[in-house]
Chains A and B, each alone.
Chain A
Amino acid sequence: MSVVFQKTKGLTDNKTHYCPGCSHGIVHRLVAEVLEEMNLLEDTIVVVPVGCAVLALNYFDVDAIQAAHGRAPATATGIKRVHPDKTVFTYQGDGDLAAIGTAEIVHAAARGEKITTIFINNGIYGMTGGQMAPTTLPYMKATTAPLGRDVNIQGYPIKVSEMISTLDGAKYVERVSVNTPANVIKAKKAIRKAFEVQQKGLGFSLIEVVSSCPTNWGLTPVKAMEFVSEKMIPYYPLGVYKDETAEEAK
């Protein structure tokens, strides 16, 4: 009997702590599958953030390090500069990457660090329990924006892919989602492309994944996916924001 499907070797057998309907599980698997398919599992180091994904070092079956809050791109820089031949990626949430770690992500991208960042944007702080994130949508409620985000008081959300794509060191930037099977397939392709950019040594690559957080959004998993489709994606349009892979190949 031939095997037609099996669990990726890129993930350990540990049970994840993620909530039902959370996108982390899907994204973990996509990243793991890509690394396995590219035959990179033996030579990859993941830098995990502070936030829900801090425990991702229990799940990705590769070398792993827990970084300080927001500093994953700096820590990844240190690793990659020591081992330029290894694959190094950060896996960060929106609080980690777009608030406390804004300087680190911007400058890692600007330096063109040959690392890949998987950025989970679910518009909320997960691990600390539903506080406002830099990516929380206008009018969206959070425990620290109990009346909903008022842009006159709390300012506007940060559009990370748009921002990072302006930097010359960033060679591939795409925003994807995992809200539908079709988008999951697209997301996997994007992730693969990002790691290929790193493999070729072209520069920095970032994949933003518009994600769900049913627990802190106060929605069921299904309603949460609908929220992604109806509210998140219109504000954070999917697509390729930067692709210098073709140009570089010339």
Chain B
Amino acid sequence: MAKVLMKGNEAVGKAAIEAGCRYFFGYPITPQSELPEYMARELPKVGGVFVQSESEISAINMVYGAASAGARVMTSSSSPGIALKQEGIGYITKANRPAVIVNMMRGGPGLGTIQPSQADYHMCVKGGSNGDYHNIVLAPSSIQEAVDMVIEAFDLADIYLTPVIILADGLIGQMMEPVEFTNKKQREIPKKDWALVGKGKGERHITKNLDLNPLDLERENIELFEKYKKIEENETQYEDYLMEDAEYAFVAYGTSARIVKSAVRKLREEGYKIGLIRPKTLWPFPKEAFKRNNIKKYIDIEMSMGQMVDDVKLACEDVHKVVFYGRSGGVILSSEEIVDFGKSIMGGAL
């Protein structure tokens, strides 16, 4: 199929439908409203269902129901709305049910702004709901990658029975870029023999969320973390960009990373030995990418006051090796300021 020019929000919707998503529950919020609008328009054409809920809380709990009923289901929102969904995300996690949640981040805290931001890293990667848990978090850097990641997200959710969060931002949602729907081969999905379909002649299907006995809950949490270990081993993804001979490494994800790439190219032209490490999965975080002896400094760049930088410090096990530069509140980084900051760190280190 040839490339088409699509808005990120709509491309994500199309990708979900291609991945077999037939249920979408959502609530409008800028800058992601084109996604529920797309689903409202397109899902009925493929026999799917779109419901505009009364709140983000309700939407995520509808997702919990539909996921437990065995469906491929998605919801989307932007930062304040994702904050509201945290309750349901925890329930879906606890119940071991698959769901895909899209966050087109905007500046916060509070109502904040509608401009793009990356300030929800802590909420989505560290876990904004209660209890011991992680969610798989995928961070696309282009609309093409958003499409590919959405399709992958449905597979990951079904394989590991977990919520998968697509952590993008308003820029990815609002912009248009060429994108190709390649119908990549999807992975083998285990049978959903746990789905609520009525017990028929067999055993009851139970989707449980409560364990009154602490020892039971602890055992389940240990199992949960055994699952997380498998995910860490098998699903961690990152990109090395011009890292072969690099002595300095930018670290950035999503929208920041695409801007950092252009800064890397400019600095390379000037002779600086610098590259970019781009985590594609934020959880599991690609810790192994930071075990390099030849790197003098990791320069973490985010559209936030500094959130992923904590994970970079933990991963490289040397806080002195990590420096941070970011813009907050919906300000989009410019390539020039990243180049300038890079130079201020590297000095004359050509």
Contacts and interface: CB of A to CB of B under 8 A. Distances in A.
Interface residues of B, number: 39
The 6 closest A-B pairs by CB, nearest first: A78-B65, A78-B66, A71-B61, A74-B61, A75-B65, A43-B198
Given A77-B62, A77-B65, A65 B196 contact: yes
Nearest to B70: A82
A73 to B, nearest CB: 8
Contact of A57 (B23, B65, B73, B206): B206
A66 B207 contact: yes
Interface of A: 41-45, 47, 54-55, 57, 61-68, 71, 74-83, 86-87, 103-104, 106-107, 111
Contacts of A79: 65-66, 68-69, 196
Given A66-B208, A68-B91, A107-B54, A42 B63 contact: no
Given A42-B199, A78-B69, 16 more contacts: A42-B200, A44-B198, A47-B65, A64-B196, A64-B205, A65-B64, A65-B65, A65-B95, A65-B206, A66-B209, A67-B61, A67-B91, A71-B58, A71-B87, A78-B63, A103-B55
A62 B199 contact: yes
A42 B91 contact: no
23 contacts: A57-B206, A62-B198, A64-B205, A64-B206, A66-B95, A66-B209, A67-B61, A67-B64, A68-B88, A71-B87, A74-B57, A74-B64, A75-B61, A75-B64, A77-B51, A77-B62, A77-B65, A78-B62, A78-B66, A79-B65, A79-B69, A83-B196, A83-B198
B204 interface: yes
Nearest to A12: B204
A47 B208 CA distance: 11
A74 B208 contact: no
Interface in B252-300: none
A78 B57 contact: no
B210 interface: yes
Contacts of A65: 64-65, 68, 95, 196, 206-207
Contacts of B57: 71, 74, 103-104
Nearest to A57: B206
Interface of B: 23, 25, 49, 51, 53-55, 57-59, 61-71, 73, 87-88, 91, 95, 196-201, 204-210
Contacts of B200: 42-43
A45 to B, nearest CB: 5
B84 to A, nearest CB: 11
A65 B197 CA distance: 11
Contacts of B66: 78-79, 81-82
Given A64-B207, A82-B70, A107-B53, A42 B198 contact: yes
A62 B205 CA distance: 8
Contacts of B51: 77, 81, 111
Nearest to B91: A68
Given A45-B196, A62-B199, A82 B69 contact: yes
Contacts of A64: 196, 204-207
Contacts of B199: 41-42, 61-63
A82 B49 CA distance: 8
B201 A42 contact: yes
A62 B69 CA distance: 14
Contact of B69 (A55, A74, A83, A103): A83
A220 B242 CA distance: 77
A76 B65 contact: yes
A104 B207 contact: no
Contacts of A76: 65
A32 to B, nearest CB: 13
A63 B204 contact: yes
B193 to A, nearest CB: 12
B55 A78 contact: no
